[in-house]
Structure 1
Amino acid sequence: VKISQGWHVVGTVGSASEKISVPIIPCSEFQYSKPTVLILGNEASGLSPQIEQLCHSFLTVPPGQRLHPGIDSLNVSVSAGEHSPTFY
């Protein structure tokens, strides 16, 4: 329903080298300008192929890049809890 209302659907991937046909953007470069649905994948297997097909773009934390000093990855459940008010 949100897609038909013009929302941007963004998924997460572990690596920018994964074979995906839509843009993969480093988290540090992502800027949203319209309502966004953020889909966080399972830490072991990521997103299902059916969910990947819904995404307009993907976010990744490139190897070696830090989100904040001392942090180079995020636990999915903690990330969702920390940022849920921002994304719907």
Structure 2
Amino acid sequence: MVRGKTVIERIEDTTSRQVTFSKRRNGLFKKAKELAILCDAEVGLIVFSCTGRLYDFTNTSRCVRFCLLSLCIVDVSLARLVN
């Protein structure tokens, strides 16, 4: 049997929305980890929940510094120091 096309829309029920967010966040982090391992890539991922909580994934400390500099919107010349 073929599944019907899923409509992407906001989930109104708060509990259901939070459960879906947690499951999809975990899946996204798993895929980021797989990408880092399989392709030997530097991966940094930052996700904010609807409550404003920050979730992050990085596979190197270099990614952490770059993401923090990018979030702070630091001067481009300083961002090059990360390399």
**TM norm. shorter chain > 0.5:** no
User: Please, what TM-score do these two structures have when normalized by structure 2?
Assistant: 0.24
Task: Identify the structure with bigger relative contact order (alpha carbons < 8 Å, sequence gap 6+).
Answer: 1
Name the structure with the higher helix share.
2
Name the structure with the higher strand share.
1
User: Please, what TM-score do these two structures have when normalized by structure 1?
Assistant: 0.23
